[in-house]
Structure 1
């Protein structure tokens, strides 16, 4: 352990040179680092990166092999599935070892390497071009076959292969055989289906993956499949209601939707619901209202007679039952609490808008309620606001809590659809170190159907490590779930498909819950919504008794 300070200085210098991409200076420093500490995978990864950056592939190769053996921390790009074997393939190809490079590509794909298109065009793999073994590994040509039917079948084959490679659709042979049978049947049906119907069936194919991040996206915002009705829906306990409307459709605010083209809303939801991907059965309660605005999808499912419009039967706010024909259009985006320029029902009411909806479009904010000695924190995205990074905001929040008479903190995640889980760790650390919030009954966590992805991880970590009282609805995801954004392109249709390839175990390994269920169940009702009441905060503010354990 001689000259510990010198070793730390060398490590700091090596990191600084790598940060500047000064590979010629960084490489010998990293050589010194791994000589002194050969058991840290991140150090070997930095050495490999520097040698690769210098074009010294023969020296980079053994370093990457050490990374493969030791692993790296999740903040490194090489922590992604299959990334290290892919780097090994690039080194071997540059060294002229075609067989070794192909073996490494095979290993990368088997490990779930995401970007298959990158393999096709990577200049470092030029030595593999034209090798039929590479074409076989990548699933054939870079584009779909000639003609519509063969093109769609090529897209279908690619989607099916990626679904199996990234996330096997089943743990049993029988279920995998069912998946294969669904793929084969869809391939046979393509001549009889419209493009919109194939699009819907691709979604249906992803449904068994139990992956709420899985989706099929149409990149062109003007495409018919992206057109939406000019009203926004929300599914309350009493049914489906219009909560926001584009200019010219304000008369529909507060209306209950009874039917689409004469088909009862409940029946329409029964038809649409099986197409929606999900982590659990609560998430679709958030997603379903947006699907009901997509007229091309409703038409493809046989619910409506026209792909560009729908006739809604509604019970208006004044109690009158009427029919109204609505056109779908591009630009009628989904937004929360309402798209820009639209009228949002709570803003039209005489009662004050509740805290939960006051700044729902902000990344995060808090307010002090001195009469209750309570701080209300609404965290709507796990990401950095350009005006104040989440870490700085968290420091300001807890400085306030320490300075003022605060007995309770409410963390509201009910509108939070995710972001970057790693940004939430600072909040968790401050919660655990705050003496004021150490008693049961001093911390409340609000969750709901929209609490998903990074927000689910945040909720899971708070529930696991604190004594928070959970209020609201079940979350839209599981405490442990598979989820990630890693889309790939279907070459014929140009659709972008996302299938997750990362497993997030934020809870204990034996946690098989499908959601975080609340201690206080407070489902949203339209009766409360149209009165600008937030029953969740009413329930929390009424929790003043010091019960056993509180």
Structure 2
């Protein structure tokens, strides 16, 4: 409690002007206008398609509006508005960061939004008592509203990735520009501490480094104040530096958050690997790790192989070919029976490329949240400096268009698993734990291939009851479900095939091809009226559907 009182006392000193560094000389309005034009031109010249989300004219109008309003804005507000403008492009690789001295002070907490609220996952040792606290208000407004303001400053490919973009709330200059901090930089916060008490506090910023690059580190680590040992993680109240060394006493997903780790679990008939970067590390190269881990898998022959990409923000995509080759060359006789790939909001950039490799090349089940970008997005960003405004622009220079033509902003998830803070702090993992205890976690099309239509229908009903309100979730993936259904046709299991394809259509009701398949199987099973009804539904969705037109034009000839 004395530390928390010290925060308030320090805020009073700060408000009195004690200990403040001299303010840097701000760029003139004319200098700002020059740099804003340069930023707009750089985006237009370097980015493959900067106006997909916002449109060229809308972006130009917003740019001109900001240039006109510059005299009315403080330096912090100018930076915030410039960041918001670039973020409107909607690309997680394209964003602005401030580099000036006014943006090198940080609050001693790191925030994370769980399903049950906003919590401090890591706190500086000066306010260690805040680790694990639930934040209720920030800057006099509900914490969720303040987080939304911060999210708008950083580009994101989808709302899942945007949920990671809360680092701006840890920066004093940006908090002032957002209207959350007072003139001294102190940030009013209301928090519920771990003991249940609610306290109103004022967080005082501390000097540190520049830039928001620390946001790519795992949530157990802190902002740009001090070093790893100076921060206390909410889980276990351990120094953040502890997570840079493996510890078997911690849950699997928290065992090691440095680069990559493989954990044999013979007592659970499983093998777990976590991959946190697509980069070589001084201890072990990326592909050397996969060769070693897969050799252990060969020896153990586990029923369940779990590959966790939830904390992987990317790296060198050229390394993925050799990585996935380790799985492909075992594909004819895999030493595992079930393969699970875990994804989440931090899965980004090259890690999304890894997701696509597993999606296309392996019979994997995907568990967790969608990645922070869809399978098709932008990347290979370059960095451009604007010295007058003291801004650094990261700008995508390449379109990554994979094997799929999908414009879906989400990567596929067969079984949702989202962390609550209650689970997190108790050491429970909603993705890994059910797999290890043998719950049915396989994708529906994999269940179809091994267990038939009745099992698919049963599991589909269970998952619909649990997850029907999850906006990014679809119970069945159409392409593999279609393949599984017609594989059953080839085996002469027409009733099973009909059930599988009907579940697919119910899960994807707007997909005309799925209703074509249902119509085809209904007719094959001798259900004439049901088959024609399915084809009519398909034709409503796609009036140009030639197959449905032909069947419905001559129903008497249809078998």
Q: Does 1:293 align with 2:170?
A: yes
Alignment partners' CA distance in 1, 2:340 and 2:62:
45
1:327-359 deviations in Å (ceiling 9; x for gaps): 11233865422240111121238x942110110
Q: Secondary structure at the match of 1:385?
A: coil
- Evaluate the alpha carbon distance shift between residue 439 and residue 543 of structure 1 in structure 2; reply closer, same or farther with a 3 A threshold: farther
- Deviation, 1:440, is 9.4
- Evaluate the alpha carbon distance shift between residue 149 and residue 264 of structure 1 in structure 2; reply closer, same or farther with a 3 A threshold: same
Q: Does 1:338 align with 2:221?
A: yes
- Evaluate the alpha carbon distance shift between residue 543 and residue 479 of structure 1 in structure 2; reply closer, same or farther with a 3 A threshold: farther
- Evaluate the alpha carbon distance shift between residue 329 and residue 436 of structure 1 in structure 2; reply closer, same or farther with a 3 A threshold: farther
- Deviation, 1:310, is 0.7
CA contact (8 A) 1:217 1:497 kept: yes
CA contact (8 A) 1:229 1:327 kept: yes
Alignment partners' CA distance in 1, 2:189 and 2:90:
32
Name the structure 2 match of 1:366. 262
Alignment partners' CA distance in 2, 1:188 and 1:437:
66
CA contact (8 A) 2:175 2:181 kept: yes
CA contact (8 A) 1:299 1:306 kept: yes
CA contact (8 A) 1:408 1:437 kept: no
1:181-237 deviations in Å (ceiling 9; x for gaps): 1111111111111222111111111123221011212346xx232322111111101
How is 1:68-83 mapped onto 2 (pairs within 5 angstroms)? none
1:522-549 deviations in Å (ceiling 9; x for gaps): 1110110121111211122234668432
CA contact (8 A) 2:150 2:165 kept: no
CA contact (8 A) 1:295 1:306 kept: no
Alignment partners' CA distance in 1, 2:337 and 2:204:
49
Q: Does 1:461 align with 2:357?
A: yes
CA contact (8 A) 1:169 1:208 kept: no
Name the structure 1 match of 2:417. 522
- Deviation, 1:307, is 5.3
TM-score by length of structure 1 reads: 0.68
How is 1:262-273 mapped onto 2 (pairs within 5 angstroms)? 262-273=140-151
CA contact (8 A) 2:102 2:173 kept: yes
Q: Does 1:536 align with 2:465?
A: no
Name the structure 2 match of 1:391. 287
Name the structure 2 match of 1:183. 63
Q: Does 1:200 align with 2:80?
A: yes
1:446-484 deviations in Å (ceiling 9; x for gaps): 000000011111112111211110011111111010112
- Evaluate the alpha carbon distance shift between residue 533 and residue 512 of structure 1 in structure 2; reply closer, same or farther with a 3 A threshold: same
1:55-96 deviations in Å (ceiling 9; x for gaps): xxxxxxxxxxxxxxxxxxxxxxxxxxxxxxxxxxxxxxxxxx
Equivalent residue for 1:216, pick from 96, 105, 108:
96
Aligned residues: 398
CA contact (8 A) 1:407 1:437 kept: no
Q: Secondary structure at the match of 2:372?
A: coil
- Evaluate the alpha carbon distance shift between residue 232 and residue 147 of structure 1 in structure 2; reply closer, same or farther with a 3 A threshold: closer
- Deviation, 1:165, is 1.6
Q: Secondary structure at the match of 2:426?
A: coil
Q: Does 1:347 align with 2:236?
A: yes
CA contact (8 A) 1:489 1:497 kept: yes
- Deviation, 1:308, is 2.2
1:239-277 deviations in Å (ceiling 9; x for gaps): 110111111211112211011132211222333333331
Alignment partners' CA distance in 1, 2:199 and 2:172:
20
TM-score by length of structure 2 reads: 0.67
- Evaluate the alpha carbon distance shift between residue 343 and residue 375 of structure 1 in structure 2; reply closer, same or farther with a 3 A threshold: same
After superposition, the CA RMSD in angstroms is: 2.3
Alignment partners' CA distance in 2, 1:515 and 1:259:
30
Q: Which runs of 5+ in 1 are unaligned?
A: 1-145
CA contact (8 A) 2:303 2:336 kept: no
Q: Does 1:155 align with 2:73?
A: no
Equivalent residue for 1:169, pick from 28, 33, 50:
50
Alignment partners' CA distance in 2, 1:426 and 1:441:
22
Name the structure 1 match of 2:330. 434
- Evaluate the alpha carbon distance shift between residue 371 and residue 527 of structure 1 in structure 2; reply closer, same or farther with a 3 A threshold: same
Q: Does 1:320 align with 2:197?
A: yes
Q: Secondary structure at the match of 2:431?
A: helix
Alignment partners' CA distance in 1, 2:426 and 2:89:
40
Name the structure 1 match of 2:319. 423
- Evaluate the alpha carbon distance shift between residue 490 and residue 437 of structure 1 in structure 2; reply closer, same or farther with a 3 A threshold: farther
- Deviation, 1:507, is 3.4
Q: Secondary structure at the match of 1:450?
A: coil
Equivalent residue for 2:374, pick from 448, 461, 478:
478
Q: Secondary structure at the match of 2:327?
A: helix
CA contact (8 A) 1:352 1:532 kept: no
- Deviation, 1:323, is 1.0
Q: Secondary structure at the match of 1:286?
A: coil
CA contact (8 A) 1:242 1:256 kept: yes
